[in-house]
Each structure stands twice: as C-alpha cells, then as structure tokens.
Amino acid sequence: MKKGLFIVFEGPEGCGKTTHAKLVYKYLVRKGYDVVLTREPGGTKVAELIRKILLHKDVRITPLAELLLYEASRAQHIEEVIKPNLLKGKIVISDRFADASLVYQGFARGLTMEFVKKINHIVVDGFYPDITFILDVDAEEGLKRVFLRAKKFDRLEKENLKFHKKIRQGYLQLAKKNKNYYLINTQNKTLQQVHSKIVKILEEKYKL
C-alpha cells in the first residue's frame, strides 16, 4: 500500500536527532528527491496544539493521559501528513514517531509495553517506518547539550536524571530487537561524522 520511504529519527534528549533529521532532509532535497520533514508531537495544526500541552513546563500529566495525548497527536499526524505523502511516493522524515511512546510512556513511565504497543498498532494503521535511526548519548551529556542550546528545559527535559537514564536504556533495548533500526553513538562525534554514517547507510540500503 505504501509507495514512499518513511525515515524516523529517535533517541534520548540532546542526542541530535532533530539536527540530523534536518541534515538528511537537506541532503535528499539537494539530490532531487521529493521530501517531507515533520515531527512528533506536532506536524499538523491540531498536533502542534497538543504539543504545547505535552511540553508545557508547568503542567502535570498522568502517564495514561500523556500516552493518549501523544497518540491523538500521532493519529492526526498520520492522517494529514504521513499517510498521504507516502502514498504519493514521497520520502517522509519524522523527528520521533511511535517508538517514543514505547520508551517514554512504557519503559520510563511504567505503562505496560503490551498496552502501549496495542494503542500504537491501532493508531499507526500499518504506516510503520522503513528505517529508524536511534541516536545515542548518555543522559548527562544529552541534558548538557539541551541546556546549552535552549537555556531552559521543557516538561520532559525537566524530569530527573533517573528518568532520562531509563529513556536511554529503553532506546538501547529497542535497537537490539529490530533489524531495521540503526544505533549511532553521537558521544564525542562531530556532526559531519554522524551525518556521513547516516548517509552511508541510506545509500547502501536504498541507493539514495
């Protein structure tokens, strides 16, 4: 059913996923491909409004409510952006997708993984990524990068170090279990070193 290529970037806070999603987008556009760059939570008007709630530094959200807000945002995102563009044969690059819910609400918040997987399965409706890059960095270094970039933390970034270490471990476990997941360590690596590795994988796997 899907004609295009769906690329996702995941990882703990400060891993560089947003930067590298943008770099790959620019690289593919320069090569003449029709590419859509999007993000989660967000990507549509409704989803961006939900994003403001989810990341607001002064609100408290229960794990179940948090999951359902993310899934509502994702449902809108898939229907408005991901599905139509993939069906048109475009390359879609997303900064986070359904795996973020497995890691954040499942692994770190303590909701059962089976429950999160079940909700993800309903919402994703078959539009799973073709390839996922999990960019890795240790929790302390990642948060340091976030602070230097933004000088302040959003609601998730404000969580304690133990939470962020759980996030990293969750992503490391995901990377071990899936053949279409590529784990790339960004610790002490330059942007160009990481970007070159990502591009090499895409060229070898998809001849891009």
* pLDDT tens-digit readout, 148-199: 887 788 999 999 999 999 999 999 999 998 889 999 999 999 999 999 999 9
What pLDDT score was predicted for residue 2? 67
Q: Are 99 and 77 contacting, i.e. CB atoms less than 8 angstroms apart?
A: no
**Does residue 208 belong to any structural domain of this protein?**
no
> How many structural domains is the chain composed of?
1
Calculate what percentage of the chain has a pLDDT beyond 90: 92
Token pair 């229907």 is found at: 79
Q: Tens digit of pLDDT for each residue in 109-135?
A: 999 999 999 999 999 999 999 999 999
**Does residue 138 belong to any structural domain of this protein?**
yes
CA dihedral 207, 39, 104, 175 (to 10 degrees): 0
With b for 16 or more beta-carbon neighbours within 10 A and e for fewer, the 114-147 pattern comes to: eebeebbeebbeebbbbbbbbbbbbbeebbebbe
Percent of the chain as helix, strand, coil, to the nearest 5:
55, 15, 30
Q: What is the pTM of this model?
A: 0.95
Which domain covers residue 60, as residue numbers?
5-202
What pLDDT score was predicted for residue 3? 87
Q: What is the mean predicted confidence (pLDDT) over 10-24?
A: 97
What pLDDT score was predicted for residue 36? 98
What pLDDT score was predicted for residue 150? 79
**Does residue 173 belong to any structural domain of this protein?**
yes
**Does residue 97 belong to any structural domain of this protein?**
yes
What pLDDT score was predicted for residue 114? 97
Q: Return the number of other C-beta atoms located less than 10 Å from residue 63's C-beta.
A: 15
Enclosing H/E stretch for 86: helix 83-87
Question: How far, CA to CA in Å, does 23 sit from each of 9, 95, 101, 120, 194?
Answer: 12, 12, 24, 28, 10
**Does residue 207 belong to any structural domain of this protein?**
no
Q: Are 92 and 82 contacting, i.e. CB atoms less than 8 angstroms apart?
A: yes
Q: Return the number of other C-beta atoms located less than 10 Å from residue 100's C-beta.
A: 22
Assign residue 168 the CATH number of its domain. 3.40.50.300
**Does residue 74 belong to any structural domain of this protein?**
yes
What pLDDT score was predicted for residue 152? 80
**Does residue 14 belong to any structural domain of this protein?**
yes
Sheet holding 5-10, edge to edge: 35-39, 91-95, 5-10, 131-136, 181-185
Residue 1 has pLDDT above 70, yes or no: no
**Does residue 172 belong to any structural domain of this protein?**
yes
